[in-house]
Amino acid sequence: MQANLATLLATIPEMSFCSSVDLYGGDEPGLPLLQIQSELGSATIALQGAHLLSFIPAGGRELLWLSPKAVFAAGKAIRGGIPLCMPWFGRHPDGLPAHGFARTSNWDVCEVEILSDAAIKVVLELSDSAASLALWPHAFVFRLEVTVGRELSLQLVVENCSDTAAVFSQAFHSYLAVPDVNETLIHGLDGCTYVDSLLEGHPRHLQAGDLQMQALTDRVYLDVPAEQVIKHSAGQIKVSSDTHCTIVWNPWEDAAKMADVGQGNHTGFVCVERGDVLDHAVSIAAGGVYRATMSLSE
């Protein structure tokens, strides 16, 4: 754990620090977690990946799905919550780790604050290291501002501190908790073009109406409206973002082949991920900045 974290946390009684072993079991030593318990909502964040694991608005239900088989080990991506996929999304052409290194790197907590409306803000940062430079040749600062209130707000700032332009894509890879994926509709993609990542050649199609998944699904929707609403049998989850894409994924029967998901456990979530990928990958100029936001609410 970083040296000044205890001092930072001492200023805010609504925040505390624990190990994943305390909350989720598994092997020692587990991973360090930050817990936030405010009158407006509660959240859990793993410092590895600045990875949201839980968000429950006061009086509401858990919005994030965390796999019952999630593994909490250094350098292993945690299955569920909101992994941050960057500085690339999906498979890398040179076989580097899928979804980039941000989700498996240790972030620092650099600010904590209670806002005037009683929401709690936490700022986490990751900067380049010898290990990151071996994978992505740019000095950088990734900064994630997390605000836990009645809604969960994420604000990402990526600074390219190197002297060459950086090709960059990212996604907030939200695993949203639903009672049953079979009875879940995704509203807010009607009329959008999507890339079907499962089919040879990644053909593009048009979405007609709400999306109801019924099998393995892996799509990137392009130029989407700001908001999608996930409607399920116990209510809804709103996902809002200023990014251009929505990735929709559920492994369905392939869950059985994924040790950290497990047979049948695909029914408890839908991944509705906002980000800038494929056609909307960006080139961040030397010294330039990329910003993106996403919020979740009931």
Ligand X SMILES: O=P(O)(O)OC[C@H]1O[C@@H](O)[C@H](O)[C@@H](O)[C@@H]1O
How many C-beta atoms lie closer than 10 Å to residue 211's C-beta? 25
- Residues 41/55, Cβ–Cβ less than 8 Å: yes
Residues 124 to 183: which contact ligand X by CB under 6 A? 173
The shares of helix, strand and coil residues in the chain, as percent rounded to the nearest 5, are 10, 45, 45
205 in catalytic set: no
Please report how close the Cβ of residue 208 comes to ligand X at its closest, in angstroms.
21
Pick from 218, 268, 269, 272: which binds ligand X (CB under 6 A)? 218
Q: How long, in residues, is the chain?
A: 298
- Give me the least distance between CB of 7 and ligand X, in Å please: 34
CB nearer ligand X, residue 55 or residue 249: 249
C-alpha span between 173 and 258 (Å, rounded): 17
Cα 92-244-111 angle, rounded to 5 deg: 80
Pairing of strands 227-232, 217-222: unpaired
**Peptide bond connecting 57 to the previous residue in cis, omega within 30 degrees of 0:** no
| Single-letter code of the amino acid located at 223 | D
Asked if 244 is part of the footprint of ligand X (rule: CB under 6 A), the reply reads no
Residue 160 vs 241, nearer CB to ligand X:
241
Q: Contact with ligand X (CB under 6 A): which of 51, 99, 143, 232?
A: 99
Minimum distance of ligand X from residue 6's CB (angstroms): 32
The smaller minimum CB distance to ligand X, of residues 262 and 288, is found at: 262
The whole-angstrom separation of Cα 188 and Cα 197 is 20
Among 145, 151, 159, 273, the one annotated catalytic: 273
Cβ-based nearer residue to ligand X, 36 or 177: 177
**Among 247, 255, 282, 292, contact with ligand X (rule: CB under 6 A):** 247
Residues 6+ apart with CB under 8 A from 201: none
Q: Is 98 in the site for ligand X (CB under 6 A)?
A: yes
Q: 219: Cβ–Cβ under 8 A, 6 or more apart, which residues?
A: 194, 195, 196, 197, 247, 248, 249
173 is catalytic: yes
Beta pairing class for 217-222 and 193-196: antiparallel
Evaluate whether 110 touches 3 at the Cβ level (below 8 Å): no
SS3 8: helix
173, 232, 244, 266: which is the annotated catalytic residue?
Answer: 173
- Compare residues 76 and 150 and give the one whose CB is closer to ligand X: 76
Q: Site for ligand X (CB under 6 A): how many residues? A: 10
Query: Could you tell me the smallest distance in angstroms from the CB atom of residue 89 to ligand X?
Result: 7
Residue 227 contacts by C-beta under 8 Å, 6 or more apart in sequence?
Answer: 188, 238, 239, 240
- Out of 42, 273, 290, 294, which residue is the one contacting ligand X (CB under 6 A)? 273
Name which of residues 181 to 210 contact ligand X (CB under 6 A). Answer: 197
Least gap, CB of 292 to ligand X (angstroms): 16
In the complex with ligand X, which residue's Cβ is closer, 145 or 218?
A: 218
The single-letter code of the amino acid at 125 is E
Give me the least distance between CB of 254 and ligand X, in Å please: 8
Site for ligand X contains 51 (CB under 6 A): no
Which are the catalytic amino acids?
173, 273
Give the interface with ligand X as residue ranges (CB under 6 A).
77, 90, 98-99, 173, 197, 218, 247, 249, 273
